[in-house]
Structure 1
Amino acid sequence: MRDTTQALYIQVHPSDNVAIVVNEGGLPAGTVFDSGLILKDAVPEAHKVALTAISEGAAVVRYGVIIGHALKEIPAGSWVHEEILTLPQPPELDQLPPPAAHQHCIDPLEGFTFEGYVNDDGTVGTKNILGISTTVQCVSATVEYAVKKVKAELLPRYPHVDDVIAITHLYGCGVAIDAPGAEIPIRTLRNLSLNPNLGGAPMVVSLGCEKLQPARMLPSSTLPVLTSQPYIVRLQDEEHHSFGDMVQAIMKMAEDRLVHLNQRRRVTRPASDLVVGLQCGGSDAFSGVTANPAVGYAADLLVRAGAIVMFSEVTEVRDAIDLLVARAATPEVAEGLVREMEWYDRYLQRGAVDRSANPTPGNKSGGLTNIVEKALGSIVKSGTSPISGVFGPGERVTTKGLVFAATPASDFVCGTLQLAASMNMHVFTTGRGTPYGLAMAPVIKVASRTALAERWSDLIDIDAGTIATGKASIQEVGEQIFHLILDVASGRKQTCADHWGLHNEFALFNPAPIT
């Protein structure tokens, strides 16, 4: 075990000419490292120090990749930060190398199981939840009122149902519902209603006059056999003579659904039934060397066990897309990756912004200079497996293995879209810290720094900061994450977010105009 009072830095790749300071609180000017390097400046924790002199205009390299060019000469031992670097150009999408000709074979990992709820469509839930969907924001307050009554008056009578949630949002009317891009929020709402953790018992509350009619949101062809029964409450129907009537209609249908859900029991299922979404938020410079590599190791184990593992966040992979295309299992997958990058490039151009809008102030305080450095650390959580499929925002993921599910980088939007993609487990890495959680699926939070894990011990599930100080290896923390996923999916353990009931609102991605 290393002495954490020793001055430490992490150099990721032998060709890197910068490294990040490990010590909590940073290090003062004059600090001497074992390598003989002397700090010319005070360098904050997780920020970069120049390992050698870098001349004006020369490349600054981290992860073995150019993350910028020096705006002035940078002496060895200097603090390397945003103000003295230029942002390099992103990879040209029409000049990417083809996928590797020989992808490595996946060595199957057998014998791992969890206890889950089997649905009629063959999917498996890690929770048993009644979800009440809405077609339009106008009904949200009424549904939320009804859900409180359902939880207080009905749910205690159905002990095998975990929760009742309202799937509310800001969409449904006052929108250009047939415009290009409008299919994204519509299919997102449809697929949220069909998430495996909702047990195949969708229930929809509609106002009646909105543009997004229930039949458009949930066509009969998408519904399980169960919903041959009525599954819609329309508040404008003439049978409702008061607010009380509306609430009672919602509660009656909710109880019909609760009766069905309460009959379900957990059964032993192979780990291949897991659909695990990976995401990072409040990232810092440690994320790419501790938490994300450990999650990547767990992701490889899950893929070997036959599960679906999805990573997302287009703007946080765009600058490393050449590394991902090289891992595409087929030319079609490579084309899909390029297609999603091109779509998002055009989307940003329409908004007169570019990729420099990411990272956030907190990311920069945590040592991430620009989006290139952030992307290189972000993609590490995808592990090393071949990428077997690419899906657009809000689409259901149907391909086993490691897949890219395109989403914006916003935590709440990404989480919502991954739920629509059929995610039944979520792993979320953070360096700066966040109380983020989801009602529809368990969220395991992995800290990139021990200081964060200790300070927020009741919000962080796994401390990956031990990798930075040498107390644990990437493999050890990755295996810990893998086994915690199985335990949480089985209901044997509870995440911190679920313990406190910290569940963020659903946030749709709507690139179409509002009228």
Structure 2
Amino acid sequence: MESHTSKPLYIKIKDIDNVAIVVNDNGLPKGTVFSDGLKLIEHIPQGHKVALNNIDQGNAIIRYGEIIGYAKVNIKKGSWINESVTEMPNAPELNELPIATKKVQELPPLDGYTFEGYRNADGSVGTRNILGITMSVNCVSGVVEYVAKIIEQDLLPKYPNVDGVVALTHLYGCGVAIDAPAAIVPIRSIHNLAKNPNFGGEIMVVSLGCEKLQPERLLKGTQDTIPIKLLEDDLVTLQDEHGFKAMVDHILNVAEKHLQRLNQRKRETVPASELVIGMQCGGSDAFSGVTSNPSVGFASDLLVRCGATVMFSEVTEVRDGIHLLTPRAANEEVGKALIREMQWYDDYLAAGKVDRSANTTPGNKKGGLNNIVEKAMGSIAKSGTSSIVEVLSPGQRPTKKGLIFAATPASDFVCGAQQVASGITLQVFTTGRGTPYGLAMVPVIKMSSRNIVAEQWFDLIDISAGDIALGKATIEDIGWRLFHLILDVASGRKKPWSDHWRLYNPLAIFNPAPIT
């Protein structure tokens, strides 16, 4: 894998684009001449945009064939186009979007692909065999995490078929407006989190006793969830215990019963249609929308052709590309649901006196992304080309297979938690700047957009899409490589680096409701 090239290179995506990004490591100096005669009139960093022709003040700056901004000043050919010279356009109007108007070319099914998974009684299939300990309130987090360490050290060696134990910590359950309309999001999410297929249907709950989110309410869930039936022995209420040691012993006794059942489970060959894969990006750069995210999109299409379920998310990172997504809706109902989730989030941000522009980070900008519009165009590439068959509100579980938009915030940790609540059993995470992100509940495959990141973080990045930028590989090449890696990781044949080092971020359940 080579990350370097001495020949000056830029990448232009669409014929109508009037900007391109510089490929070369460390950028290119003033005076550099490309093979087509374009000459840089100033230094341009790697991944940043060069004007391919003169752009007058007020005229459109076009990348991906879409307007990503307007020139604040007259921009000369060969100059650097960055945030300072770019005015962000307005977001697409939600009441003027085409819905289900694009006839998506259905690709032939892919038969014969399988993985080794854990079948569950409810019909779902896990990629891991984990004991998850659910909590009705954040007050018990310290106790549960304490016990989880004991389980890992003392009990797990007795149950070699169990992959681990996870304390499903969160910051909800009390001190909250439990009956606020938006409380449906955290309640539904915590409820569905316990039912993730990687936990094998073995549900136990630890409660304090006086919390607002009483166990009965958590187990009942919301109008759009299936109630959880819990044996009386599977609920531990700390306020009923006589001392800390009694709390610990009670949780350990309940946990061991679940471990005994989990240990009887074995991997078996199942079709790839049983996969539920989450797609996410974080620490994105200008290459993300050119190399890694399109490769993920190609793999997404392969998975859909296998009959699998694929989720993409991050509302603020699709909002400016929503006009490209609603035409791909399978029907009018799905298109309207996409618009509903965009509007809900617009209102949520407006209540905080911000808009989607607050999404873009200093790292995104250093990596060449001027604004959220440009970032969104690269982000939606993860969705591939398939029809969108369903839209989920935060924390909902899918009812269909295929490509699904699962509405979540764009925060890596919140998006990850919400996708786990929605039932993913493996996640693909792309990054342009690099991040040690990982989840304890599901394996996470990390893909870099540039080879130099994969070389620098050789023991954190699982796969690189950087060869695409150098012309040494195609999107299809990397997409197929990712597809086979997904099957291997889902089967337990390969372990991603985040699992190797046990780099697991805390759960961050989305709570848009008031805290009292």
Same fold, TM-score > 0.5, yes or no? yes
Q: CA deviation at 1:24?
A: 0.6
Q: CA deviation at 1:232?
A: 0.7
Tell whether the 8 Å contact from 2:50 to 2:80 is kept in structure 1 after alignment. yes
Matched residue, 2:135: 134
Matched residue, 2:373: 372
- For residues 450-461 of structure 1, the aligned pairs below 5 Å read 450-461=451-462
**Which of 235, 240, 245 is matched with 1:232 structurally?**
235
d(CA) in 2 for partners of 1:223, 1:184: 16
Tell whether the 8 Å contact from 1:120 to 1:224 is kept in structure 2 after alignment. no
d(CA) in 2 for partners of 1:37, 1:512: 53
Matched residue, 1:124: 125
Matched residue, 1:475: 476
Tell whether the 8 Å contact from 1:2 to 1:470 is kept in structure 2 after alignment. no
The verdict on how the C-alpha distance between 1:82 and 1:46 changes in structure 2, with shifts beyond 3 A counting, is same
d(CA) in 1 for partners of 2:228, 2:160: 24
d(CA) in 2 for partners of 1:156, 1:457: 31
- For residues 26-425 of structure 1, the aligned pairs below 5 Å read 26-100=27-101, 102-219=103-220, 222=226, 227-228=230-231, 230-237=233-240, 240-425=241-426
What do the CA deviations read for 1:114-136 (whole angstroms, capped 9, x no partner)? 00000010000000000001111
Describe the SS at the equivalent of 1:348. Answer: helix
| TM-score (ref. length: structure 1) | 0.98
d(CA) in 2 for partners of 1:60, 1:306: 39
d(CA) in 2 for partners of 1:335, 1:197: 32
Tell whether the 8 Å contact from 2:3 to 2:450 is kept in structure 1 after alignment. no
What do the CA deviations read for 1:159-185 (whole angstroms, capped 9, x no partner)? 000000100111100000000100100
Q: CA deviation at 1:218?
A: 1.3
Describe the SS at the equivalent of 1:236. Answer: helix
Q: CA deviation at 1:211?
A: 0.3
**Corresponding pairs, count:** 512
Matched residue, 1:434: 435
d(CA) in 2 for partners of 1:426, 1:465: 20
Describe the SS at the equivalent of 2:420. Answer: helix
Tell whether the 8 Å contact from 2:4 to 2:24 is kept in structure 1 after alignment. no
Letter matched to residue 234 of structure 2: Y
Letter matched to residue 232 of structure 1: L
d(CA) in 2 for partners of 1:181, 1:188: 12
d(CA) in 2 for partners of 1:81, 1:53: 15
Q: CA deviation at 1:229?
A: 5.6
What do the CA deviations read for 1:61-97 (whole angstroms, capped 9, x no partner)? 0000000110111000000000101110111000112
The verdict on how the C-alpha distance between 1:2 and 1:151 changes in structure 2, with shifts beyond 3 A counting, is closer
Tell whether the 8 Å contact from 2:3 to 2:452 is kept in structure 1 after alignment. no
| TM-score (ref. length: structure 2) | 0.98
Q: CA deviation at 1:102?
A: 2.9
Tell whether the 8 Å contact from 2:102 to 2:328 is kept in structure 1 after alignment. no
Pick which of 2-11 and 443-452 moved more: 2-11
Letter matched to residue 496 of structure 1: W
Describe the SS at the equivalent of 1:484. Answer: helix
Tell whether the 8 Å contact from 1:431 to 1:448 is kept in structure 2 after alignment. yes
The verdict on how the C-alpha distance between 1:205 and 1:446 changes in structure 2, with shifts beyond 3 A counting, is same
d(CA) in 2 for partners of 1:353, 1:224: 38
Describe the SS at the equivalent of 1:264. Answer: coil
Letter matched to residue 263 of structure 1: Q
What do the CA deviations read for 1:474-495 (whole angstroms, capped 9, x no partner)? 0000000000000000000000
Q: What 5-or-longer segments of structure 2 have no aligned partner?
A: none
Tell whether the 8 Å contact from 1:362 to 1:432 is kept in structure 2 after alignment. yes
Identity of aligned residues (%): 61
Q: CA deviation at 1:2?
A: 11
Q: What 5-or-longer segments of structure 1 have no aligned partner?
A: none
What do the CA deviations read for 1:326-345 (whole angstroms, capped 9, x no partner)? 10010100000000000000
Q: CA deviation at 1:105?
A: 2.2
Tell whether the 8 Å contact from 1:2 to 1:471 is kept in structure 2 after alignment. no
Q: CA deviation at 1:107?
A: 1.3
1:465 equivalent in alignment to 2:466: yes
d(CA) in 2 for partners of 1:201, 1:86: 52
d(CA) in 2 for partners of 1:3, 1:413: 35
Describe the SS at the equivalent of 1:19. Answer: strand
Q: CA deviation at 1:223?
A: 5.6
Tell whether the 8 Å contact from 2:298 to 2:384 is kept in structure 1 after alignment. yes
Q: CA deviation at 1:101?
A: 5.4
Describe the SS at the equivalent of 2:350. Answer: helix
